């Protein structure tokens, strides 16, 4: 259903804009995607295999996010890409995601030759689209939490305590941005071709 994909796209687009501008995403951002998920379940009540596959995908994404970390908004964003008529929507979305992010990473490292910067925590908090790699408090390195959100909670506590802290940081774009682009492109390809992008791509190589 186009309405389901559109609702998810609205959430992802709103989340991408917020993350770019404010380095955070409001919980209310996901309301359209939740509505889309409810519609998807309602219109596929008889298709138990389809719903089981979707539930399994969401579970795997959340489990990977829990064990390997990352931004909570990015993990939720990837999870909501499952909400689509395309059974393999996360796969198609992630293929497009990699097509965007890999060249960007190569450009940043080898052409622009960007290097990590060590900056005071107060300055780091004010900057947009910079991400923590290491944390040094009063000359000692502290282990960063797995999720970016927990890391920022730690930063807030350090600032409140007035402790001297520095962050080794690198620039980048929020993962939810190329994820949003990937989902929208995947959705458009699905509606244009009438079949999932991943299946079409697989069929091109396996003949």
Q: Are 176 and 77 in contact (CB under 8 A)?
A: yes
User: How long is the chain?
Assistant: 207
Domain spans of the chain? 2-110+174-205, 115-171
**What was the pLDDT predicted at 160?**
93
CA distance 94 to 182: 7
- Give 168's strand partners: 118, 134
Instruction: Compute how many other C-beta atoms are within 10 angstroms of the C-beta atom of residue 122.
Output: 13
CA distance 138 to 142: 10
Q: In what order do the strands lie in the sheet with 130-137?
A: 117-120, 165-171, 130-137, 140-142
**What was the pLDDT predicted at 89?**
76
pTM: 0.84
Q: Which residues of 42-70 are buried (b: 16+ CB within 10 A; e: fewer)?
A: eebeeeeeeeeebeebbeebeeebeeebb
What dihedral do alpha carbons 81, 84, 89, 94 form, nearest 10°?
-20
Based on its alpha-carbon atoms, the radius of gyration of the chain, rounded to whole angstroms, reads: 19
pLDDT in tens, the chain (207 residues): 689 999 999 999 999 999 998 888 999 999 999 999 999 999 999 999 989 989 999 999 988 887 877 788 899 999 999 988 777 778 888 889 999 999 998 998 888 888 889 999 999 998 888 889 999 999 899 999 888 888 989 999 999 999 999 999 998 889 999 999 999 988 888 777 766 555 555 555 545
């Amino acid at each position: 259903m186009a309405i389901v994909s559109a609702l998810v796209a609205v959430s992802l687009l709103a989340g991408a804009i917020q993350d770019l501008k404010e380095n955070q995403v409001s919980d209310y951002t996901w309301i359209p995607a939740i509505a889309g998920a409810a519609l998807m379940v309602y219109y596929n009540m008889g298709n138990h295999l389809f719903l089981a596959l979707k539930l399994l995908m969401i579970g795997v994404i959340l489990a990977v996010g829990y064990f390997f970390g990352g931004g909570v908004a990015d993990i939720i964003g990837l999870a909501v890409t499952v909400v689509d008529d395309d059974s393999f929507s996360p796969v198609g979305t992630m293929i497009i995601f990699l097509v965007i992010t890999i060249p960007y990473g190569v450009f940043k490292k080898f052409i622009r030759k960007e290097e990590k910067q060590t900056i005071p925590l107060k300055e780091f908090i004010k900057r947009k689209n910079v991400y923590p790699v290491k944390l040094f408090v009063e000359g000692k390195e502290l282990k960063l939490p797995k999720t970016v959100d927990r890391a920022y909670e730690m930063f807030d506590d350090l600032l409140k305590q007035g402790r001297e802290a520095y962050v080794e940081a690198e620039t980048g774009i929020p993962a939810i941005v190329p994820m949003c682009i990937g989902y929208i492109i995947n959705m458009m390809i699905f509606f244009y071709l009438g079949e999932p992008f991943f299946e079409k791509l697989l069929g091109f190589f396996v003949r």
